Structure 1
Amino acid sequence: MTDDGNTPAASENESGTSRPENATEPPAEKPRSRIARVLLIAAICLPLFGALLAGAAFLYGKYRFEAAGPHGEARIVMLEPGLGVRAIAARLDKAGVISDPMIFLAGVRLNRAESGLKAGEYEIPAYASMAAILGILREGRSILHRLTIPEGLTSEQIMLLVEANPVLVGDMPAVPPEGSLLPETYSFTRGATRKEIVSQMKAAADTMLAELWDKRAEELPFDTPEEAIILASIVEKETGVASERPRVAAVFVNRLNKSMRLQSDPTIIYGLVGGKGTLGRPIRRSELDRPTPYNTYLVDGLPPGPICNPGRASVEAVLNPPATDELYFVADGSGGHAFSRTLKEHQQRVREWRQIERQKAR
């Protein structure tokens, strides 16, 4: 109540708080303002959430890409030329060496390797990760197959080995000249052609001969690299004991220096069967006197060509023979040979060898 009783008292609100009679309620928030605020919050949060989700997906994919593969043993996978990245991923998935083709494809793209995957035949190691497999395909680490050519085969025999190899492809080239191929182990990938391998053998023989010819001894009884191959082919066929090759070569060099005939049994066989290489039986006495261009019991000096494809050791032996005065050798019954300086010694060795043969025949 006022002092004079005329001034109105301040009103009280429901909570008992007094406020002036003329006070107003705060304006209500408009719906548009509320929507704008929600949109602003969404604009800030959604990209952040998306970034977090993308980061999590990247880390998961990276983990899967680098994790051990699903295969517990090494597996062979063939990727033909012309396969696209998706086809390669499908081939790897079918082979069971990757766990997720899509992750593999993502890894290829992130590494910018789409055009760097090489065709070939691959051995994928057990439990190899997709990252490791990608590295193998980018480097082109294809399986290497091998073809071993033994020393002493004729060119015809070597070509039979080339033709029979199941990994090589393509037509057979013509049989190369005798002595023009280097016996060696050759490595190649699936799909290599037979012509390529034969060309490789020829190139290896040319390189080897040029190298060794430049290091030859002086005063040899032949004048050309081709003649060295002829004599080396005879040495190759005379002994399969590596340690004997230098002594056998020295015997033939000594005989040539003395104008003695070589009298080599393998030359008789080549004169009879040529490139087939083997006679399949002992030489008959009548065949010692059968005239052929290769019968060194009848012809002076070297025969007209090689009788096989000699290995490097035989070529080295004839180009740098040891200094000996031995002129003869004969089989000793142990797989090797007995060497002699005189005909008398040699004849005694021959008698001993024939005695051994008679004992074996009993």
Structure 2
Amino acid sequence: MWKHIAANALTFLIVAMFLFGGVIVWGTNEYSAEGPLDQAICLQVTPGSNMRIVSESLAEQDAISSPSIFRMGVDYSGKASALKAGSFLVPEGASMSEIVDIVTQGGQSTCGTEIVYRVGVTRVVAQVRELDPATGRFVELASFEPSEVEETPAEYTETREANDTQYRVVISEGVTSWQIVQALNSLEFMDGSVSEIPAEGMLAPNSYQVRPGDSVAELLTDMEAAQARILATAWAERADGLPLASPEEALILASIIEKEASTSDERFDVASVFVNRLNQGMRLQTDPTVIYGVTQGQGVLGRGLRQSELRAENPWNTYVISGLPATPIANPGADTIRAALNPADTDFIFFVAKTLNPRDGHNFAVTLDEHNANVAIYRELEAARAASEGN
């Protein structure tokens, strides 16, 4: 009898092990299989949340088939403690495994409602926008210039009061360090105020995600570190034979190119003009350096240059001095720094705007006669506009 009982017990154990193994295989496949979500969603993970709360939220939104399998998969992968707070875009059909990666690997939110402060060369714009998960595109809810309005839009106020609002500061290429500091100091949700202006050119234009209470000084430090990395990499990958003695000189040249290039495509040609002029011992003769000598980077000149300013002796006026100006004249972007250190192979030493619209780019020339012809075309366009405005 005991042999019979033992045999039955062994059989039961074998069957149980087989069934258990089948459950594990099924659960593993379910964890990695395409999920039931038929349209992308924005998953909110609040600070202090955990994987149980996240799994229940996902189940309520029909993004996963089983909260239990989701949590077991998280535990098995060892990622339970890596959950990040934020708003995360979960694409349609995402598997449980992919969702876990989304909420544990990302350092920044990828969807939701955000307030974006765009620091441009001529103005600062506050924008309220929300990502539409279905299309993957942001929908603008409000846009305004903080310095130009007496009362902020209701959409901005409501978004500022929401707990899950994200904040982003976008620095445009060609903005000066003074402009950046002034803009950051004016942001009501950031902590502290900075009086010392970082070195011109050493703040990387980019998009920076920030949080209420973040320090202005720390954000500037991050920008400086980013620019230092960009410059070091570009310098290490520079072309041979450049008339630049140091990364600092490369940054100065890049800042001039940033101010002169009208389109991203012509950065390398503009770079070639200035490199060719430096190699030939010609003065750079570029207006943005004169403007910087007048404003010291503190705002926009807002008018044409005077003859007295073109003749003024200062460390930035490249109509008067030879070689590069004393410092950068703005903060150039990464692509422009790379262009300065890898210019196009041309013989160009002149350029002038093609049309009255700066976005149309420039006409480049090798000889003075070619350049004068291009200038004559531009002057005709100016005269035509003046005549039409006079009528």
**TM-score interval for Structure 1 and Structure 2 normalised by the shorter chain:** 0.5 to 0.7
Shift of 1:287: 3.5
Decide whether aligned partners of structure 1 residues 112 and 302 sit closer, same or farther in structure 2, where only a CA change above 3 A counts: closer
Decide whether aligned partners of structure 1 residues 114 and 259 sit closer, same or farther in structure 2, where only a CA change above 3 A counts: closer
Extract unaligned runs of 5+ from structure 1: 1-36
Question: Cα deviation per residue 1:152-193 (whole Å; 9 max; x = unaligned)?
Answer: 333345567888999x9876876532222445x668798998
Amino acid paired to 1:261 = R
Distance 1:156 1:129 in 2: 47
Aligned residue for 2:297, secondary structure, equals: helix
Rg larger in structure: 1
Question: After the TM superposition, which of the residue ranges 58-67 and 192-201 deviates more from structure 2?
Answer: 58-67
Distance 2:341 2:94 in 1: 51
Q: Is the 8 A contact 1:155 1:175 kept in 2?
A: yes
1:69-148 equivalences in 2 (<5 Å): 71-80=37-46, 82-93=48-59, 97-98=63-64, 101-102=67-68, 104-106=70-72, 108-109=74-75, 111=76, 113=78, 115-121=80-86, 122-128=88-94, 130=96, 132-134=98-100, 136-137=102-103, 140-141=105-106
Extract unaligned runs of 5+ from structure 2: 111-167
Shift of 1:217: 0.7
More strand, by proportion: 2
Amino acid paired to 1:217 = G
Aligned to 1:204: 229
Residue 356 (structure 1) aligned to one of 370, 376, 381: 381
Aligned residue for 1:76, secondary structure, equals: strand
Amino acid paired to 1:360 = R
TM-score by length of 2: 0.59
Decide whether aligned partners of structure 1 residues 75 and 281 sit closer, same or farther in structure 2, where only a CA change above 3 A counts: same
Q: Is the 8 A contact 1:233 1:306 kept in 2?
A: yes
Question: Cα deviation per residue 1:198-243 (whole Å; 9 max; x = unaligned)?
Answer: 2552233232343145x4316x2x5333123212322332222455
Decide whether aligned partners of structure 1 residues 55 and 247 sit closer, same or farther in structure 2, where only a CA change above 3 A counts: closer
Residue 240 (structure 2) aligned to one of 213, 216, 223: 216
Distance 2:95 2:336 in 1: 49
Decide whether aligned partners of structure 1 residues 62 and 326 sit closer, same or farther in structure 2, where only a CA change above 3 A counts: closer
Aligned residue for 1:252, secondary structure, equals: helix
Distance 2:48 2:246 in 1: 49
Aligned residue for 2:309, secondary structure, equals: helix
Aligned to 2:363: 337
Aligned residue for 1:353, secondary structure, equals: helix
1:320-335 equivalences in 2 (<5 Å): 327-333=349-355, 335=361
Shift of 1:270: 1.6
TM-score by length of 1: 0.62
Distance 2:71 2:339 in 1: 58
Question: After the TM superposition, which of the residue ranges 262-271 and 84-93 deviates more from structure 2?
Answer: 84-93
Decide whether aligned partners of structure 1 residues 136 and 312 sit closer, same or farther in structure 2, where only a CA change above 3 A counts: closer
Residues matched between the structures, number: 312
Distance 1:112 1:349 in 2: 65
Decide whether aligned partners of structure 1 residues 284 and 236 sit closer, same or farther in structure 2, where only a CA change above 3 A counts: same
1:1-362 equivalences in 2 (<5 Å): 59=23, 62=27, 66=31, 71-80=37-46, 82-93=48-59, 97-98=63-64, 101-102=67-68, 104-106=70-72, 108-109=74-75, 111=76, 113=78, 115-121=80-86, 122-128=88-94, 130=96, 132-134=98-100, 136-137=102-103, 140-141=105-106, 150-157=172-179, 175-183=197-205, 194=219, 197-213=222-238, 215-217=239-241, 220=243, 222-242=244-264, 244-257=266-279, 259-276=281-298, 278-312=300-334, 314-316=336-338, 318-319=340-341, 327-333=349-355, 335-342=361-368, 346-361=371-386, 362=388
Using the aligned pairs only, state the percent identity.
35
Aligned to 1:13: none
